[in-house]
Amino acid sequence: MANSDIGTTASRLRWAVWIFWACVILAYAVGRLGLTFGVVRVQAHSAAGDAPSFMVIADISILLLSVALYQLTKMLGAIAEGDLFSARVVKAFRAFAFWLLLVALVWIVAPVGAVLLAGPDDASRLEFRLQMRDVLTVGIALILFLVARLLERARTVDEELREIV
């Protein structure tokens, strides 16, 4: 595959990420506001519960996911411009992996923290749920860090080859 093919694919994927990101934000905002469209009513719920403190966790998750997707679009934009193994691509990719890992950790840790911070007056039950989605997201984010290291190594090899020629 030629570099122009990779750049074209990265550019298309970048547009797909922007569209996906906009749809996620729109669906979440509509659900969070509880808007209705005729017979269709959209609602947002936190997996931890519907208390306001748990919905703040969902808000934080959406914010962190937005930062992760922004970093992904930065990386795809750099690749579309022809930077395959540049420091800019590696930095954006590593930032994407970092923010994705933060999203997963918020999903795991924040519900427990919200219940603990609620105090004994609230009739909350401490429940620690570890869903397969959470484990997979952490695992994928950690694998992305390995891929970032591989990209750094590829950049080093690319620079060495350019010096030889």
Q: What is the pLDDT of residue 125?
A: 56
Q: Name residues whose C-beta falls within 8 Å of residue 24's C-beta, 6 or more positions apart in sequence.
A: 62, 65
Mean local confidence (pLDDT), 85-108: 89
Q: What is the pLDDT of residue 94?
A: 92
Is 70 exceeded by the pLDDT of residue 123?
A: no
Question: How far is 151 from 165, CA to CA, in rounded Å?
Answer: 21
Three-class secondary structure of residue 33 per DSSP: helix
Look at the chain and count its residues: 165
Q: Are 117 and 150 in contact (CB under 8 A)?
A: no
3-state secondary structure 29-48: HHHHHCCEECCEECCCCECC
Q: Which pTM value belongs to this model?
A: 0.76
Work out whether the CA dihedral 81, 83, 88, 92 comes out positive or negative: positive
Question: How far is 65 from 106, CA to CA, in rounded Å?
Answer: 11
The residue among 30 and 49 whose pLDDT is bigger is 30
Q: How far apart are the first and last CA of the chain?
A: 22
pLDDT tens for each residue of 151-165: 888 888 888 888 886
24-54 burial, b at 16+ Cβ within 10 Å, e below that, comes to eeeebebebeeeeeeeeebebebebbeeebb
pLDDT confidence of 139, banded at 50, 70, 90? confident
Mean local confidence (pLDDT), 124-150: 79
Min mean pLDDT across 13-17, 48-52, 140-144, 145-149 is at 48-52
